[in-house]
Amino acid sequence: MTGRTSDFAKILAAAALVLLAVPPSLHAQQAPTDDPQVGPNPPLPEPRQSLFPTMHLADVIGWKEGETPKVPQGLKVAALATGLQHPRSLYVLPNGDVLVVESKAPGGEPVKRPKDIVMGWIESWVTSGGDSGPSNRITLLRDADGDGVPETRSVFLDHLNSPFGVALVGSDLYVANTDAIVRYPYTDGETSITAAGTVLTPLPGGPIDHHWTKSLVATPDGSKLYVGVGSNSNITENGLQAEKNRAAILEVDRASGRWRIFASGLRNPNGLSWEPVTGALWAVVNERDELGPDLVPDYLTSVRDGAFYGWPYSYWGQHVDPRVKPQRPDLVKSAILPDYSLGSHVAPLGLAFYTADALPAHYRGGAFVGEHGSWNRDHFNGYKVVFVPFANGMPSGKAEDVVTGFLTGQGEAHGRPVGLAVDRTGALLVADDVGNTVWRVTGSPQQVGAAGD
């Protein structure tokens, strides 16, 4: 590194530290729940580019004894498990056992720009939940009587490579590590797997592995697996070659491991789920940063076979991103609109459609979304679980706050929600990766089956 480059990096780092030193009272304001960008037709301001993007960061303070998130009247929330290490996603086995995927980002990503030093450090700082034990494993929780207190807690799989997605088909358990889908033999009721896994197919991984989480879902007939592969950059700053087979959802043949690109132009697709009425594949998608605090809206969308959703050349359909060179007007022309905006920079990572009866009837058929929370915005956005009502297989109303209280009034974060699941009793489970907790949301007895809150 030359002296000039080194000095530039120091200047950038110093400027970032100045931004981080903003008094909490100036960056503790929660985005209003009536965000006009939430819905099928979000207003889009003109892009705003600057040397330093808008940054408001939440210090992670964790949860004290007895503290919990907040839920609306008619619901209750309690910890299902605490003391975990970065619980990122959840999967409920047919017998009711809950698999908690505890995962850390892979290390060693090369840094090409001085700005990356600052931005990489910021991303690590705001998502850190401490390091008090091992991670990159799957923990099993067994709550046989459904009272919200697991009788069994065991290490189910260990020594994984930044795992995220899980899917069970028959006696085959698939784990999407950051670089491969691995198959393990599974026997109903076992509390750990010691057998070596078999690679079904490699996935795009390092040495650059910017969006490393790989969401996974199996088709109802078990013949195919769908896996989300995020982009290797914010907006191709690592070169187009680094984006090969990324920013896409891949369809994998379970018998052979062969795969094809099912849909593309999805910057960071997660929460792959089947909508219960139409059977369509849906996902939540993290859009690009550094175009201003109100661009670009993250979204919830159905995913069509062969569709292109814009990244990196355009956003929200055919709005051209001026930063991408060379431009591709042919691809922009084909870019389709997402179905539902969740607001800018909410960072959705979890999605669960609700078909059970344990929560008030208002929630049946709709979708819960886990929003990890913003950093590239002048007011905090996300840091909560929201509910999007559905009718006839499509979103049918404004998103509603369901699990909140992750932020304090002083610009601090107790935790940040990520993956979601519904347990066998119908309770909603929420993985809190910096609070190192799995939360369980249930309905008050008098509210179960009621028309709403």
What length is written for the chain?
A: 453
pLDDT at position 27, please? 33
- Min mean pLDDT across 5-19, 32-46, 150-164 is at 5-19
Q: Which residues contact 329 (CB under 8 A, 6 or more apart)?
A: none
pLDDT at 85 over 70: yes
Q: How is residue 372 written in tokens?
A: 């990890």
Q: What is the pTM of this model?
A: 0.90
Question: Binning pLDDT at 50, 70 and 90, where does residue 59 land?
Answer: confident
pLDDT at 300 over 90: yes
pLDDT at 33 over 50: yes
Query: Which residues lie across from 439 on neighbouring strands?
Result: 79, 430
**Of residues 147 and 9, more confidently modeled:** 147
- Min mean pLDDT across 57-66, 231-240, 258-267, 273-282 is at 57-66
Question: Binning pLDDT at 50, 70 and 90, where does residue 447 land?
Answer: low
Residue written as token pair 């698999």: 99
Q: What is the dihedral of CA 289, 292, 294, 296, to 10 degrees?
A: -30
Q: In the chain, how many H helices and how many E strands?
A: 3, 30
pLDDT at 147 over 90: yes
Mean pLDDT of the chain: 88
Cβ-contact 275, 287 below 8 angstroms: no
Cβ-contact 346, 371 below 8 angstroms: yes
For residue 249, give the nearest of 262, 268, 265 by alpha carbon: 262
**Mean pLDDT on 357-377:** 93
pLDDT at 6 over 50: no
pLDDT at position 123, please? 53
Question: Binning pLDDT at 50, 70 and 90, where does residue 57 land?
Answer: confident
Q: Give percent of the chain above pLDDT 70.
A: 84
pLDDT at position 118, please? 52
pLDDT at 17 over 50: no
- Min mean pLDDT across 270-274, 405-409, 418-422 is at 405-409
pLDDT at position 446, please? 56
**Of residues 410 and 397, more confidently modeled:** 397
CA angle in degrees (0–180, nearest 5) for 240-179-164: 110
pLDDT at position 124, please? 52
Neighbour count for residue 351 (Cβ, 10 Å): 22
- CATH superfamily name and code, 51-443: TolB, C-terminal domain (2.120.10.30)
Cβ-contact 247, 264 below 8 angstroms: yes
